[in-house]
Amino acid sequence: MLGRLFLAAALASVLSLAACGSSSDAPASGSGAATSLTVFAAASLTESFTELGRQFESTHSGTKVTFNFGSSATLAQQITQGAPADVFAAASPATMKTVTDAGLASSPTVFVKNTLQIAVPKDNPAKVESLTDLTGPRVKVALCAEQVPCGAAAAKALDAAGLKVTPVTLEQDVKATLTKVRLGEVDAALVYRTDVIASGGEVTGIDFPEVRQAVNDYPIAALTTAPAPDLAKRFVDLVLSRQGGDVLTKAGFQAP
Amino acid sequence: MPWPLLVPALAGLAFLVLPLAGLLVRAPWGTLPQRLTEPRVLEALRLSLVTATVATALCLLLGVPLAWLLARTALPGRRLVRALVTVPLVLPPVVGGVALLLVLGRRGLVGQWLYDAFGVSLPFTTTGVVLAEAFVAMPFLVIAVEGALRAADQRYEEAAATLGASRWTVFRRVTLPMVAPGVLAGAVLCWARALGEFGATITFAGNFPGRTQTMPLAVYLALETDPDAAIVLSLALLAVSVIILAALRDRWVGTA
């Protein structure tokens, strides 16, 4: 799936290059040599960053952008253990702090905000309509583990609502949580709004008022140990640019 | 001793032993006793031991007859059956977990029928953990037992049969005692594999403390925020494996 996406991205970049020809907005890359950029990004950024990676490749000929999507906590651990990454985009300031505390990144910038939604299967078998419905004894709920940002946000929202939910599972990242809803194995889950949108109508998202208590800031930073510091900075610039903002807003993120 | 054998042999040994040494060196020995007796650690350990043992029992119940079928009968398409039996050996366990979800999940091929008829839903239950572990571990048992059956002298079985014993009696009174060491070896392998199972378990059974969070899952999630806790959990798992293998060593080495 991801492989096919990359193939599509590569193809698209070749096509768009061919189309641009020698016009003025031609590739900005100076070297022209094949280089690669490695971006570690929160699982919830999968769709929007894949799109931004495609755009980046089309304006930097010969550059290949590789993504490692996963729970921000796992990615932060991998980076502090020496994983060769150029850019880190986290789903929470806490996971970014792991990396800045280790001296591997400085001055991260918050580029988007994300909020939670209740995700239910399209036929909503347990008739979930509000956060309170999640406490029902027969309602199977999946949450993210509290160690990962979406789980921390879910805990905050439930606390704010004064509710105690007993989930059937605490998943290791937000995409795994969403998958359990997609397959209809759980009746509801708390995931990001962006994940509901990314599922393309396979699950239904339900807003709830307590969501304001659980807004996640997403920080991004080029890493000080980046093998390709120049490209890393340019990719961060793209994410922070209006063009980047458009892609992220379309995916359901909110401007910081 | 010829050095072209000795050097790679020592390198291989170092490769296998060094990571374990790393665990021992980095372990927070000072706080080890109190960390080990934390309720969540004991809970995960207990769950791991129970599920691995039940999974092994299930594998014995189903796997020994299956091995007999492969070794002693002229089953049509036997080679294909053997190939199918060994598929879980080469399949990434996560894929096994997805497959189990698609078949035994609440909306799965068999699972939806189970759910409609009996209200039974296997994912996110301890039974689900046992099934995931058995799925991944059973081929180890089947292959070991089939090997033992093929190596056993069939003349004893023939003699028993000529003396009037039924095939069931022959299996019970002659075959099984003859291959008992092989069955034990297979069961130990199967148990060890079940104890370490991660991918199929987290995919099919999810992750919830006390119900489906086995030691490997606890290690993985602890690593996200508290690497020291992950090391402690790993050490506990390692110690249990070593103790069990050492206790069974004599029989094990005698047949392997």
* A170 interfaces chain B, CB cutoff of 8 Å: yes
Write down the CATH superfamily of domain B33-255: MetI-like (1.10.3720.10)
Asked if the Cβ–Cβ distance from A73 to B224 is below 8 Å, we say yes
Contact of B144 with B186, CB cutoff 8 Å: yes
**Taking 60 as the threshold, does the pLDDT of residue B193 lie above it?**
yes
CATH for A116-213 is 3.40.190.10
**Per-residue pLDDT for A132 more than 50?**
yes
Highest mean pLDDT among A11-15, A218-222, B206-210: A218-222
Taking contacts as CB-CB distances below 8 angstroms, the residues of chain B near A180 are 123, 206
Neighbouring residues of B168: CB distance < 8 A, sequence distance ≥ 6 = none
**Contact: A73, B227; criterion CB under 8 Å:** no
Does A92 reach chain B within 8 Å, measured CB to CB?
no
Mutate to test the interface with A, among B224, B228, B233 (most CBs of A within 10 A): B224
Mean pLDDT of A3-21: 43
Arithmetic mean of pLDDT, B11-23: 92
Asked if A2-20+35-113+218-250 and A116-213 have one fold, the answer is yes
Banded pLDDT at A24 (limits 50, 70, 90): very low
Task: Inform me whether the pLDDT recorded for A1 exceeds 50.
Answer: no
Confidence of residue A31 (pLDDT cuts 50, 70, 90): very low
Q: What is the pLDDT of residue A34?
A: 54
Q: Which amino acid would we find at residue B29? A: W
List pLDDT tens digits, range A55-87: 999 999 889 999 999 889 889 989 998 899 999
B221 shares contact with chain A (CB less than 8 Å) = yes
Which chain B residue has the Cα nearest residue A71? Answer: B224
How much is the mean pLDDT over chain B? Answer: 90
Q: How many CB pairs under 8 A join A and B?
A: 60
Has residue B67 got a pLDDT over 80?
yes
Span B79-104, pLDDT tens digits: 899 999 989 988 999 999 999 999 99
Q: What is the pLDDT of residue A95?
A: 92
Extents of the domains making up chain B? 33-255
Residue B57 pLDDT > 90: yes
The percentage of residues in chain A with a pLDDT greater than 70, rounded to a whole number, is: 87
CB proximity under 8 Å: B 3-32 to A: none
Query: Are the C-beta atoms of B122 and B203 separated by less than 8 Å?
Result: no
Closest Cα to residue B58, out of B109, B114, B132? Answer: B132
- What would the CATH number be for the domain defined by A2-20+35-113+218-250? 3.40.190.10
Under an 8 A CB cutoff, do A71 and B101 touch?
no
pLDDT tens sequence across A244-254? 999 999 999 99
The answer to whether residue B224 neighbours chain A at the CB level (below 8 Å) is yes
Q: Is B112 on the interface with A (CB under 8 A)?
A: no
Least confident of A24-28, A53-57, B41-45: A24-28
Q: Closest-CA residue in chain A for B126?
A: A168
Q: Does B225 touch chain A (CB under 8 A)?
A: yes
At A187-215, the pLDDT tens digits run: 999 999 999 998 888 999 999 988 888 88
Tokens 């599922």 correspond to what residue?
A: A199
Average pLDDT, chain A: 86
Using CB atoms, which residue from B105, B220, B221 is nearest to A183?
A: B105
Residue B34 pLDDT? 86
Averaged pLDDT, A117-143: 93
The C-alpha atoms of residue A59 and residue A32 are separated, in whole angstroms, by 11
Please indicate whether, in this complex, the C-beta atoms of A169 and B221 are within 8 angstroms of each other. Answer: no
pLDDT band at B171 (very low <50, low <70, confident <90, very high): very high
- Where do the structural domains in chain A lie, given as residue ranges? 2-20+35-113+218-250, 116-213
Least CB-CB distance to A185: which of B101, B207, B221?
B101
Nearest of A34, A93, A39 to residue A236 by alpha carbon = A39
Could you say which residues from 188 to 217 on chain B have a Cβ atom under 8 Å away from some Cβ of chain A?
202, 205-209, 212-213
Is 70 exceeded by the pLDDT of residue A22? no
Provide, as residue numbers in chain B, all residues whose Cβ is less than 8 Å from the Cβ of A183: 101-102, 105, 107
DSSP string, A155-197: HHHHHHHT-----SEEESSHHHHHHHHHTTSSSEEEEEHHHHH
pLDDT band per the 50, 70, 90 thresholds, residue A26: very low
